[in-house]
Chains A and B, each alone.
Chain A
Amino acid sequence: MPHFTKPEAGSWTENYPELGTSPVNYEDSIDPAYYEAEKEAIFKKTWLNVGRVEQVPKVGSYFTKELAVADTSLVIVRGKDKEIRAFHNVCRHRGNKLVWNDFPGEEVKGTCRQFTCKYHAWRYSLDGDLTFVQQEKEFFDLDKADYGLKLVRCEVWEGFVFVNLDPEAQPLKEYLGEFAKGLEGYPFHEMTEVFTYKAEIGSNWKLFIDAFAEFYHAPVLHMKQAVKDEADKLFNVGYEALHYEIHSPHSMISSWGGMSPPKDLTIVKPIERVLRSGLFGPWEAPDIEGLENLPTGLNPGRHRAWGNDSFEFFPNMTLLIWKPGWYLTYHYWPTAVDKHIFEANLYFVPAKTARERLKQELAAVTFKEYALQDGNTLEATQTMLKSRVVTEFPLCDQELLLRHLHKTVADYVKEHTDAAQ
């Protein structure tokens, strides 16, 4: 017996007939040629979130973003006119990487007035113009105006900075569509205190999205995180979402939030009882504007038990908003068919007191304990997929978003290969 009503079609999955219900083939996560196709068809074509406006607070603030999956590195910078721009991080003289510190592969951030290349000291303004050439007279008819940094499309939605390597791409807001529209007005700008986690994971990027786009695994893999009786109960009940929605290529899952605060305090760990915080974040909402009347895109099922909504913005951004007023983003940056960098950011309203800060610390520490279990499990999955002993996997109704992700990837890849022929 389902605990929450399913759509008239009978299941969430059948509500989207184009997805089918048959087992799913995971060749897309192990085939190196497929990975190459994804780079071209997806990562060089779609809008990618690379950070937030708070990372470039003033004129000259910059950070770099390594995009192995698009074979490039970008520098994102706030110009003299306060505009945020993105450039390929490559010097026009001989192709040196322009902005980096000791290790060319590591991302950096800082503030500067101009960019100077380490190799022969060519300089570029914050707007990307070439302003200085060492021994300019030695060159042949060199017009500096022809050698500015290569600009990349860069647009901002609700403080999230996105880039797109395709100059022909549709505008960001149009791409993000209904889900983004439904979230406008959420006080993201108040939640500027951030914990950033990074890990290298030995699995295909889609497998980690799979792990965060369904909560069916939570009572099992993360069972030991709850006290014994509660774990048993959760295991027996299993997991059901309140609501699923797809606006291709994006999707979302809406979930209950029964643990914040829990009805029965004995079901949570002693430290959670004292600090009134845990995996679901601090139990009480911070005192800011904008949490009373939430934007219409949140809690689309209008459930009383609502706890969080998790949006999958295609291809590689998860945005998870918790009812008590904080949010997370996950990014999955592929580096090879069987490897990616996972990045998680936890955003809170800045703590004013030590107690508030301790609550956030507990939420952050708890997040890490879970994510480590997920990350490690994925490596086990990747190796066995690679054996190709089993190639077809049945996905249940709670795994709808995975089914949609793999199909969307396939559609993008197919469209791209068809167009090339």
Chain B
Amino acid sequence: MLPSEFAALEPFNAWVLESERDRYSKRLASSMEEMQTFYDAAFPLLEQASDHLDKFPLSELPEQERNLLLLMFSLVNVSFPVEVWKQARVPDSGAAYMDLVVEPKV
């Protein structure tokens, strides 16, 4: 599913998600432990993933590369709970929600 150099991330394939809505829902449905494990595996590879992906034009990413990018979007999404919040929800956000209704295609 992912480029071979990133085989270490295969166990986290469930984080390859099409939309921000899916990524954010998965974040809310995940425990801190699950997110931390994903983060610990993916964060050290973020720089390398960016270098790898930058060899391709964004509009023509091969499928495996596209999956890798989507996975990195999920990393960005969990970075807040892991790096600062220590919880899945935004503190002080209560029942508030915000839907991303238009997002750039990849």
Residues of A within 8 A of B (CB): 193-199, 201, 221, 224-225, 227, 269-271, 274-275, 342, 350-358, 360-362, 364-366, 368-369, 371-373, 375-377, 379
Contacts and interface: CB of A to CB of B under 8 A. Distances in A.
Nearest to B44: A274
Contact of B92 (A221, A350, A355, A356): A221
Nearest to A194: B102
24 contacts: A195-B100, A196-B102, A196-B103, A197-B98, A198-B99, A199-B98, A201-B96, A224-B91, A227-B84, A270-B83, A271-B43, A271-B79, A274-B46, A352-B57, A354-B56, A355-B54, A357-B69, A357-B106, A358-B72, A362-B76, A364-B20, A365-B76, A366-B80, A376-B94
Nearest to B96: A376
Interface residues of chain A: helix, strand, loop or mixed (majority): helix
B8 interface: no
Which 7 pairs of residues, A with B, have the shortest CB-CB distance?
A354-B53, A196-B102, A376-B96, A372-B93, A271-B79, A199-B98, A355-B50
* Interface-centre pick from A194, A195, A360 (highest chain B CB count, 10 A): A195
A147 B8 CA distance: 66
Given A198-B98, A365-B80, A354 B90 contact: no
Contacts, number: 119
Size class of the B contact interface (CB-based, 8 Å)? 35 or more
A347 to B, nearest CB: 11
Contacts of A270: 43, 79, 83
A52 B56 CA distance: 31
B104 A193 contact: yes
B91 A373 contact: yes
A357 B98 contact: no
Contacts of B98: 197-199, 342, 368, 371-372, 375
Contact of B96 (A195, A269, A375): A375
B96 A354 contact: no
Contact of B50 (A221, A354, A360, A379): A354
A365 B103 CA distance: 11
